[in-house]
Every structure is written in structure tokens, then in C-alpha cells.
Amino acid sequence: MSVATIAGWYPDPTNSAVAWRWWTGAAWTQDTTTRTDRRIKPADWGWDTDLPARIASTAAPASKTGNPWIWLLTFSAYIAGGIVAGVQVFVLPALGAVGSDLTLLVGAGSLLAAVIPLWILAELDGRSLRKRGFEAPSVLWMLLLPPVGYFIRRRVLVARAGGRAFGPELVFLIATAVLIAGAMLKFATLFTALQLLLLNGFLG
């Protein structure tokens, strides 16, 4: 069933008993007011009185925006790191005897290959958002420190439509922080071991 696209105040589909929410003509916004607000009258709707219920059932976006693709994207650092590590462990040693130029080319190509799955996950997430009535960020936001730019733009668009999307973002920050902390700890351990080796060699 198609719904009229006239903007106006309508009963909030998430709390219709006590609040009004602004309908832009295409989506709900975060602008709300109480049902006792004397400025809001049925005449301001511009539609028949049963239309808000039809909007709530057909056009209101779901409040939750999670899907398997965005949750996989939260672990993007591990996905990309696994691809690069796999190339270094299994492919580069086999190419070592061929030539250093080819080895460098394959090594650089592995970085590009590691980003491609992240773009695919972002596109699948965008399709899921659009099916739920949300505006989806362009995958071009993945060019901005992937996938940080995509997460920021996604948060803005989802919040603008009244949805919730903080869960995947929080997991992304935690997962990335854990990976960085682990890398720093590993570096510190290797550095300490190198210092001990140098010290033992100097004393020996």
C-alpha cells in the first residue's frame, strides 16, 4: 500500500499515546513533542486521521539496524589482517625464489585484496538498511580510513531517522583497540628481547 508523502506532525509510531513525531514526507525524524502540545492539531496533519497508523505500519523504519554484515564489519581489522597474513605466510615464500619485484608487487596487492571484502560487507549492510527504511551511506565512505568513515556516516544517518546503531560501533572500537593493544604488547616484548640479546652479547 502506498502512503501519502505530505510532511507534518503525526502520532509517534513508537509512543503514539503520549507523543507526536515529525514526518518529513519520506521518513520519521528525531523531532518529537507531547500530545498535549496545543500547537499540534488534527488540522495540521493534512491527512485523514487514520493515516498515521498506516504510516507507522508501512513506512516507519525499524529502530534496530543490526545485521550480520555490519557485525562482520566490526571485526574488519581482523579480517584484513588475516588476509594480509595469509598472503605473507603462504604466497610470498613461494614467490621468494622468483624475484624480489614480484614479491613486492604481490605484497602490495594483498593490502588491496584485504580491503575488498570490507567494501562488500559495507554494500550488503547498506542494502539491509534500505530495506528497513533507512538511508544508507555510500560505500565511498570506505575510502576514509576504512571502515571508520563508513561507521561515522552510518551513525549520522541512522540517528537522524531515529534508529539505534551504537552496538556495532562500540564493538568495532573495542575490537580495534584490543588489536592495537595486542600489537603494541607484542612490539614491546620483541623490543625487550632484542635489548636482552644485545646486552648479553655486549657483556659476553
pLDDT, tens digit (0-9, with 9 covering 90-100), for 59-108: 445 567 889 999 999 999 899 888 888 887 777 776 665 556 676 777 77
Count of CB atoms situated within 10 Å of the CB of 108: 9
More confident residue, 31 or 174: 174
pLDDT, tens digit (0-9, with 9 covering 90-100), for 11-64: 787 776 667 788 777 788 888 877 666 666 555 554 444 545 554 544 445 567
Name 177's Cβ contacts closer than 8 Å, sequence gap at least 6: none
Sheet with 28-34, edge to edge strand ranges: 8-11, 19-23, 28-34
Residue 166 is placed in which grid cell? 551504537
Cα–Cα dist 167/66, whole Å: 8
Cα–Cα dist 96/102, whole Å: 8
Q: What is the pLDDT of residue 178?
A: 92
Mean pLDDT of the chain: 77
Q: What is the pLDDT of residue 98?
A: 56
- What angle is formed at CA 158 by the lines to CA 153 and CA 164, rounded to 5 degrees? 125
pTM of the model: 0.60
H-helix or E-strand containing 178?
A: helix 166-203
Assign 11 to helix, strand or coil: strand
